[in-house]
Structure 1
């Protein structure tokens, strides 16, 4: 008579998967210490989302983007980007005076990497004592919409909203503009290049990973087995 096979309890099986994937420090859910009605509604410019890339030439889209920027004269521009490969995640921002590229924990989603890029740019805005008007250009529409919708369930959206509140308290203006990707906009292309360069960096930023990012990674790993 064959002995029944032993199956590990579910929690132990999940633990094995987590150990294989590698979790790293996980972000704990934090209840905002600032009431939502005290946060500042972010100002966003989604005017270029009405243009379909396949029906417009890259030259036309670039021209429309430049026209959109004309609405914000004397503003300092930041271009942000996130990037993900099979085994790396990174983000970056670029402006005429500053640039940053940063390798992130591999467990992070590209959505989270886009938010961290935006947050990093906002941190520079916070300490800028010379300029008072800023435009954050991102080709990550989902990240801009999460910020505009003030989705405080995501820890990095919450950090972005805190930064915006701090910036407005300094009487500075910041606008988030959606930037069409891969049409040759110089700042966007530079941010994309910096993020891709950071994918191969050996310097890893010590940041916590959102639990939902880790959950998605584990599900993907389990399906692949």
Structure 2
């Protein structure tokens, strides 16, 4: 069969690997071009090592070795009080290291816990370098404060994203296999074992309605998108309006846009479009400024506002085909929607309705009709645009029913929300035994890492991260790590932890009074924790200075 394609098998580059459970293997003797192919225990295919038992040990060990080399570079980039800022190290980790862990991760999720825990340890090592944490810091505290999900939930999210993409393809062989597998009795064999991740996630997503297509929508066009010259048809700029609306008055924008429309589109048939989304109420509408006709739609599915804006443009183009005129301009106040259509000519994958708009434009060209898509600012008291906006809001409740299935990216929130719920359950469970101090400051994992928004140097950020975790290099945790002979304070004789140093220790009384002269700091037990909830506040910066001075004399 290979020969019929004009190809030959190279015996020097080919290997044989027999995939089977257990240690017993049948003898295999395959001869190609007079040479016997060697039998190997593992083979690399598309960047993934496949071992003969499909336990993924070879792949994970090879991955850990690569990550370890990167972590050695991270170590020379930063220390406690010097080096690269944690927010930049965090981004480096996500782009350089975790991207490698993500590759095919939901496939090797079925590996043994002994293998998967190696990757967890690698991530923990990276988090300690990024945030300057000491070794005793619990992993769930580091993950939460740096806003980096545990790898098990990351694999869950990527599996869900992959399945939604597969569900968006008509007659997907993977979905057919999963449906057949779940409907059979084979699924009962996992009652006492961990289910494969794809099956576990598909159980959650199988009833989700997703827009399906037989092939990529780009191939539905009669010509390649580059031939449409879309840049000449979509106008997303207006001269002298290149700043946020707050920099100009509404009256100025209104007059400027009216003059622009009169000059650029004199003699054009004008139509205004808009979309509206208020919770689960979604509407789209267009307004004919020449005849004062309008149509508004109610969209029942939970799609994005950009999708609703594009649907309004598409319906306006359908309306244009029925009008006996040759020059049209369709106005939209959604710049992102028009930019999305313009990106159809690039390698980026766009929504089906965007390609439908291109197809409609090509069809109108064949009818000798010229159509331009023009962006205009929203809410500037422009009559046609305000009418379209009002109609879209009205249509969200009482418009013509439009059946639209969301694209797979608009369903990703289901997987994201599930991952957030699982992460919170995991965080709550771990916080019962460890990280109790941290939970009083951060009750649940945040959506955005606070280190990305603060204007603090690395030393202060590391001090803040250590204080928030409750694990700082004093005697309590020094004793746990075998650095100090006992966990107690040398002066007070009690356990020397963060709370003792900041609130109780006698030897720090003078410095403490210097930074915090008010009584509330000493009488309110939770005052210190309240301060740490706002790491960039003036009081928090005083805490950092206090800790630095205490550490300098120890």
User: Shared topology, TM-score over 0.5?
Assistant: yes
Cα shift at 1:166:
0.8
Cα shift at 1:90:
1.5
Cα shift at 1:83:
1.3
Distance 1:14 1:195, change over 3 A: farther
Distance 1:202 1:9, change over 3 A: farther
- 1:26 aligned to 199, 211, 224, which one? 211
Aligned to 1:148: 342
1:218 lines up with 2:414 in the alignment: yes
Give the Cα–Cα distance (whole angstroms) in 1 for the partners of residues 358 and 396 of structure 2: 27
Aligned to 2:331: 137
Number of equivalent positions:
218
Give the Cα–Cα distance (whole angstroms) in 2 for the partners of residues 203 and 33 of structure 1: 28
Of structures 1 and 2, the one scoring higher in RCO (CA 8 A, sep 6+) is 1
Give the Cα–Cα distance (whole angstroms) in 2 for the partners of residues 223 and 210 of structure 1: 20
- Quick check: which one's strand share is greater? 1
- Quick check: which one's helix share is greater? 2
Cα shift at 1:33:
4.3
1:39 lines up with 2:233 in the alignment: no
Distance 1:83 1:18, change over 3 A: farther
Q: Deviations over 1:153-182 (max 9, x none)?
A: 321110000000011111111111111011
Aligned to 2:169: none
Distance 1:191 1:174, change over 3 A: same
- Report the 3-state secondary structure (helix = DSSP H, G, I; strand = E; otherwise coil) of the residue aligned with 1:127: coil
- Check the 8 A contact 1:90/1:103 in 2, yes or no: yes
Aligned to 2:403: 206
Aligned to 1:124: 319
Give the Cα–Cα distance (whole angstroms) in 2 for the partners of residues 202 and 78 of structure 1: 19
Question: Once structures 1 and 2 are overlaid, which stretch shifts more, 131-140 or 204-213?
Answer: 204-213
Give the Cα–Cα distance (whole angstroms) in 2 for the partners of residues 191 and 223 of structure 1: 38
Cα shift at 1:17:
4.2
- Report the 3-state secondary structure (helix = DSSP H, G, I; strand = E; otherwise coil) of the residue aligned with 2:344: coil
- Check the 8 A contact 1:43/1:148 in 2, yes or no: no
- Check the 8 A contact 1:39/1:162 in 2, yes or no: no
Aligned to 1:75: 268
- 1:59 aligned to 236, 245, 251, which one? 251
1:161 lines up with 2:353 in the alignment: no
Give the Cα–Cα distance (whole angstroms) in 1 for the partners of residues 372 and 400 of structure 2: 31
RMSD: 2.5
Larger C-alpha radius of gyration, 1 or 2? 2
Cα shift at 1:224:
6.0
Distance 1:121 1:53, change over 3 A: same
Instruction: Normalising by structure 1, report the TM-score.
Output: 0.84
Distance 1:88 1:8, change over 3 A: farther
Aligned to 2:381: 184
Distance 1:223 1:163, change over 3 A: same
Task: Could you tell me which runs of 5 or more consecutive residues in structure 1 were left unpaired when the two chains were aligned.
Answer: none
Distance 1:87 1:6, change over 3 A: farther
Task: Could you tell me which runs of 5 or more consecutive residues in structure 2 were left unpaired when the two chains were aligned.
Answer: 1-190, 422-554
- Report the 3-state secondary structure (helix = DSSP H, G, I; strand = E; otherwise coil) of the residue aligned with 2:397: coil
- 2:371 aligned to 159, 169, 174, which one? 174
Give the Cα–Cα distance (whole angstroms) in 1 for the partners of residues 278 and 302 of structure 2: 11
Aligned to 1:112: 307
